[in-house]
Amino acid sequence: MSYALVVSEVRKNLFEERNFDSIGLSALLEREAVLLVPEGAQNVNETIVDRILKVKAGEDLFLNPLNLTSILENVFETHGKPDFLLFTHSASGMEAAAYAAGYFSFPIITDVSGFNKETGSFSKSYYSDKIFGEFKSVLARTCILTVRSGSFKDHAGERAGAATTETIEAPHADEGRAFLEYVEEEKAAVDITKAELLVSVGRGIGSKDEVPKYEELAKVIKGVLSCSRPVVDKLWLPKERQVGTSGKTVKPKVYLAMGISGAFQHIAGMQDSDCIIAVNRDPEAPIFQYAHFGIVADVHKLRDKLIETAKGS
Ligand SMILES: Cc1cc2nc3c(=O)[nH]c(=O)nc-3n(C[C@H](O)[C@H](O)[C@H](O)COP(=O)(O)OP(=O)(O)OC[C@H]3O[C@@H](n4cnc5c(N)ncnc54)[C@H](O)[C@@H]3O)c2cc1C
């Protein structure tokens, strides 16, 4: 049977949530879903794929694209080549996928966020989801896909029973590059992942001088201040406050996004919030597609009004 091979992303032995998007897409592709994991991976839900291939290797070897191609060669020899080879669209997923595409001469489609069953084409977005491109593999060989976080996880359904598990021998350890260690961030003064209400500011607030006013707003409504990446890049707020793929993933009860456009790298970090309220002066801003409540307004005017109202109550 033709199958889709999902190369999992594992960090410190934990199976990352973003793998569910690759698993969800493999379900839409109507292929047998086979998961490739390093043997130390914990919290793998064994009922959401058909087969699991556990590699006798630590995450350090598995993460290395040079070793991964040796693991894949082994899988292809014993199981044949899959129709699709899926990776997460993350820093390590993109690196490994690109390397594998070059090594095996497989076509690759990156940052896939949509699939059209009728045409068999994959879509990816440009300009913060304003334009979508459609792609299709036109070669009769394995197609590599990197899958955007948050796009397909809802399609990852449970099977009646646990997947069958097989063990794959350790790869030939490539000596060209060695994983040394994870370097932890310094402990942050504020942990935005624990907040129940986040007031999140974006480039739309205009300048660093505005930040104290948003801090005041967060304080009076008993929230915590977070932000998008440009706010960190411009040194308006520290990195520990950043929400998104290269920042933190947050799930507060209320996420108030002020002057944030809604680029997917930001959305991926906050889309599971219970209630998203977006304030933006552009009615076409992509963030409104994800918001439960949208307000087309000038952020500063609304901020001042909210502070005034909260102080008065
Ligand atoms: C590898 C990579 C990783 C990334 N990681 C992250 C990440 O972790 N987190 C992240 O946030 N981004 C990340 N980005 C950047 C991301 O692509 C966007 O550039 C970024 O999210 C945009 O931030 P923004 O919405 O604050 O700014 P903009 O896109 O510039 O949006 C500003 C918004 O403010 C609105 N606005 C302006 N003035 C006002 C006003 N007076 N009143 C109301 N609205 C106003 C505008 O209409 C606009 O929609 C990453 C990018 C890359 C390439």
In a domain, 187, yes or no: no
Q: How far is residue 40 from each of residues 107, 156, 180, measured CA to CA in Å?
A: 30, 22, 17
- What pLDDT, on the 0 to 100 scale, is given for residue 188? 73
In a domain, 173, yes or no: no
- Of the two residues 194 and 313, the one the predictor is more confident about is 194
Indicate which residue's Cα is closest to atom 5 of ligand 1. 246
Q: How far is residue 229 from each of residues 30, 162, 204, 236, 262, measured CA to CA in Å?
A: 37, 40, 12, 10, 11
Beta bridge partners of 146: 87
Mean pLDDT of the chain: 93
In a domain, 184, yes or no: no
Select from 266, 282, 290 the residue to mutate for testing ligand 1; criterion: most ligand atoms less than 8 Å from CB: 266
Q: How far is residue 124 from each of residues 20, 21, 111, 148, 292, measured CA to CA in Å?
A: 18, 14, 6, 9, 24
CATH of the domain at 204: 3.40.50.1220
> Can you tell me which atom of ligand 1 is nearest the CA of 245?
8
In a domain, 197, yes or no: yes
Tell me if residue 281 falls in helix, strand or coil.
coil
Pocket lined around ligand 1, Cβ cut-off 6 Å: 202-204, 228-230, 242-247, 259-261, 263, 265-266, 269, 280-282, 285, 298-299
Asked whether residue 10 falls in the same domain as residue 132, the answer is yes
**Domain end marker among 134, 168, 202:** 168
Asked whether residue 239 falls in the same domain as residue 159, the answer is no
In a domain, 19, yes or no: yes
Lowest mean pLDDT among 189-193, 253-257, 297-301, 302-306: 189-193
Asked whether residue 215 falls in the same domain as residue 128, the answer is no
- What pLDDT, on the 0 to 100 scale, is given for residue 312? 83
Asked whether residue 124 falls in the same domain as residue 225, the answer is no
Asked whether residue 149 falls in the same domain as residue 273, the answer is no
Asked whether residue 221 falls in the same domain as residue 88, the answer is no
Among residues 267, 173, 191, the alpha carbon closest in space to that of 228 is found at 267
Whole-number Å distance, alpha carbon 225 to ligand 1 midpoint, is: 16
Q: What is d(CA 14, CA 198) in angstroms, rounded to the nearest whole number?
A: 27
The answer to whether the beta carbons of residues 134 and 121 sit under 8 Å apart is yes
Most confident of 44-48, 90-94, 153-157, 274-278: 274-278
Upper half-sphere CA count for residue 10 (Cβ side, 13 Å): 27
- What pLDDT, on the 0 to 100 scale, is given for residue 230? 97
Q: Left (φ > 0), alpha (ψ -120 to 50) or beta: where does 71 sit?
A: alpha
- What pLDDT, on the 0 to 100 scale, is given for residue 63? 81
Whole-number Å distance, alpha carbon 204 to ligand 1 midpoint, is: 8
Beta bridge partners of 112: 147
Query: How many domains are there within the chain?
Result: 2
Asked whether residue 161 falls in the same domain as residue 231, the answer is no
In a domain, 49, yes or no: yes
Select from 246, 295, 302, 305 the residue to mutate for testing ligand 1; criterion: most ligand atoms less than 8 Å from CB: 246
Q: How far is residue 134 from each of residues 129, 131, 280, measured CA to CA in Å?
A: 13, 10, 29
In a domain, 183, yes or no: no
- What pLDDT, on the 0 to 100 scale, is given for residue 311? 87
Asked whether residue 162 falls in the same domain as residue 198, the answer is no
Whole-number Å distance, alpha carbon 203 to ligand 1 midpoint, is: 6
The whole domain housing 89 covers: 3-168
Among residues 34, 174, 40, 53, the alpha carbon closest in space to that of 103 is found at 174
Among residues 225, 230, 226, the alpha carbon closest in space to that of 206 is found at 230
Q: How confident is the model at residue 127 (pLDDT cuts 50, 70, 90)?
A: confident
Q: Helix/strand/coil (H, E, C) string of 60-102?
A: HHHHCHHHHHHHHHHHHHHHCCCCEEEEECCHHHHHHHHHHHH
Asked whether residue 73 falls in the same domain as residue 116, the answer is yes
**Domain end marker among 168, 184, 202:** 168
Asked whether residue 249 falls in the same domain as residue 162, the answer is no
Give the CA angle between residues 44, 20, 293 to the nearest 5°. Answer: 130
Q: What is d(CA 120, CA 140) in angstroms, rounded to the nearest whole number?
A: 13
Q: What is d(CA 42, CA 15) in angstroms, rounded to the nearest whole number?
A: 6
Average pLDDT over residues 290-310: 96
CATH of the domain at 68: 3.40.50.620
In a domain, 74, yes or no: yes
Whole-number Å distance, alpha carbon 210 to ligand 1 midpoint, is: 16
**H helix runs in 147-298, sequence order:** 211-220, 229-233, 264-267
Asked whether residue 64 falls in the same domain as residue 123, the answer is yes
Asked whether residue 102 falls in the same domain as residue 27, the answer is yes
pLDDT digits (tens, 9 = 90+) for 202-216: 999 999 999 999 999
Q: Tell whether the model's pLDDT for residue 1 goes beyond 70.
A: no
